[in-house]
Chain A
């Protein structure tokens, strides 16, 4: 597949992601299904998009046949044959359909882990606060003034709710934290704490000072070159050795530190992309105004660079959110670990499909929403920049 020397490739047009430039192929317009307007158009649409050629027609038929084989049994398993309400494990698992009774029985364990049963309204409230914070952060009108105070207040409330010990709330040790709030906290707190470090690392990597640049490059490449699993191991077995004798450190905090170290390196690369995208003229104009390095970065460079990289930061957050599931390896009780623990109940052996589907839908819901938001934001920011 080499480039043939006989026919040198024609000069390239700029290889920007050509999505807005390339006319979308006809199949790419699912939003405009034509039969809403004219039944005759529906026939034309079918002929163009499903029976365009002999091979296309054959593929269509094969897919329709395959869907006919797969979808009805799947529907029966999910809905008609499933057992919804509370039921005895043996009758439920023998029913031939999904045993949702397992979820009914275990959802408190899966969602909240080992948190004291009568106090589980607290992690529930925490989930709602985090969702509200994430949803609020999506509104660009709030970005300038309200984002930081909003998150500060939210985090304070979350801390009070999770730990307790004040306002008459019983204290809950971190080893009892678990489930969805823990997954959300690990990712949100990890990213928030990593953010300033990431900015420093990105600036360091772009710096003209050789020692600072070398240290930044070494840190970023080292962390990005090794798997998160090894960082988690390091945090779990090596971090206690690093501390002065007699000082011990909370297990959850150790995992969080590993996640922060990890996130900082990946975020730094994303932010570096934004720094590189700022035209030289901006740096030169700032310098010619007599701004110091700090002023230049704070007032001119970072506001522009960070705006450019918000969509990739959201993507990093999605990846990071999925990666929090790895903490199972060092025994932190997150959503995945809690689901595994629920499956350990011998009476409900064999309900892995229901359990993984349940938490899979939760992970999918958050990730899918965020990725759609990032796509929308990318278009929206691009539109703003052009006008």
Chain B
């Protein structure tokens, strides 16, 4: 063997560590981490430079200053003299309001449409198809603009307002509905309702246990409905049955009194609900289709009635398929609620956008937007994961 070949092998051994996996792993990670840190340092350096040049103070101190801009819709008292922090709270509450109402209605409509698409009635199924295909393929923002224009331009003015029910007015300033005048009876009713919900929960568990022990069934559904309606009714009657209403009435150019669903709120809610419902319908449909036909047939063969088949066999299995993608749709709805800024509904993004424009605190503002949405996303994901574990298959 010639000596230089031996030399070559030895020198190859000397450099072998370069192809060693552990060394390479460390090397690549250091390289990537170094790159990211260098990029971050570069950006932070530039930002600090720019900020000092524009004489913008960093930090969240600006939150205590008076906001001095008006917000046309607020669940809590707010005036332009209040601080930016309070304006932020108003925006956050408005976002939460749209999100919660949107999730409830989108789920209801989506479930109905999803079941309709599986209907044996040809017309119902085709109508469901049309709805889903049209709504899904048009940008939500465009749908929002359409609803907003339909309300503000398509509906008559306050003087020619439509009155579908006595006391309810629909016009281009929004929907005005009567609200009960404040009375302690309403608080009592809310408490009674909460009590009834707890009662239904306890009743359900008790009946399940009793059925397991004795085999006798208890009419849980009827008893629950009776409890949910009866308890608040008793509270209302016990409080003297107040029935005074604050009716909206035309004063000058607009309505006073009652409660108003503003065009902005109505447009963003309608747009989000109809858009998200189309996606939820698809999820519900595939969830129900995903339960194999043998399951239904086996349940019928056991002698279960149709309602029991649905309640005890099909739904629990369909929910397992439905819940994870449904979580995704709830998250999408939450994030899409930021489209409110396009129709002028004062949601979080809209309020913080005004704040950024007034104070120049872009970094703080955008950070706050992102932090809030991340928190809401994590909360919804956490809640739905908990529910998913609840309905998920328990492997034995």
Contacts and interface: CB of A to CB of B under 8 A. Distances in A.
Interface string B306-337: 00000111011101110000000000000111
A367 B321 contact: no
A209 B339 CA distance: 38
A245 B53 CA distance: 9
Nearest to B294: A13
A241 B46 contact: yes
Range for the number of chain B residues in contact with chain A: 35 or more
A241 B47 contact: yes
A230 B349 contact: yes
Contacts of B181: none
Given A13-B294, A325-B141, A245 B49 contact: yes
Interface string A1-40: 1111111011011011111011101111010000000000
Contacts of A363: 137-139, 142
Contacts of B363: 238, 241
A3 B33 CA distance: 47
Contacts, number: 214
Interface stretch (A48-56, A117-125, A131-139): A48-56
Interface string A137-181: 000000000000000000000000000000000000000000000
Contacts of B142: 325, 336, 356, 359-360, 363
B145 A356 contact: yes
Contacts of A240: 50
Contact of A230 (B51, B53, B134, B338): B338
A31 B118 CA distance: 16
A352 interface: yes
Interface in A183-200: none
A4 B314 CA distance: 12
B366 A238 contact: yes
Interface of B: 25, 28-29, 32-33, 36, 43, 46-47, 49-51, 53, 118-127, 133-134, 136-142, 145-146, 149-150, 153-154, 208, 211-212, 286, 289-295, 298, 311-313, 315-317, 319-321, 335-339, 341-342, 349, 353, 356, 362-363, 365-366, 369-370, 373-374, 377-378, 390-391, 393-394
Given A22-B293, A59-B123, A212-B28, 14 more contacts: A6-B208, A17-B289, A63-B123, A63-B124, A225-B374, A229-B339, A237-B362, A241-B363, A242-B43, A325-B142, A328-B342, A356-B142, A364-B138, A371-B136
Interface of A: 1-7, 9-10, 12-13, 15-19, 21-23, 25-28, 30, 48-50, 52, 56, 59-60, 63-64, 208-212, 215, 222, 225-230, 233-234, 237-238, 240-245, 318, 322-323, 325-326, 328-329, 336, 340, 343, 349-350, 352-353, 356, 359-360, 363-364, 367-368, 371
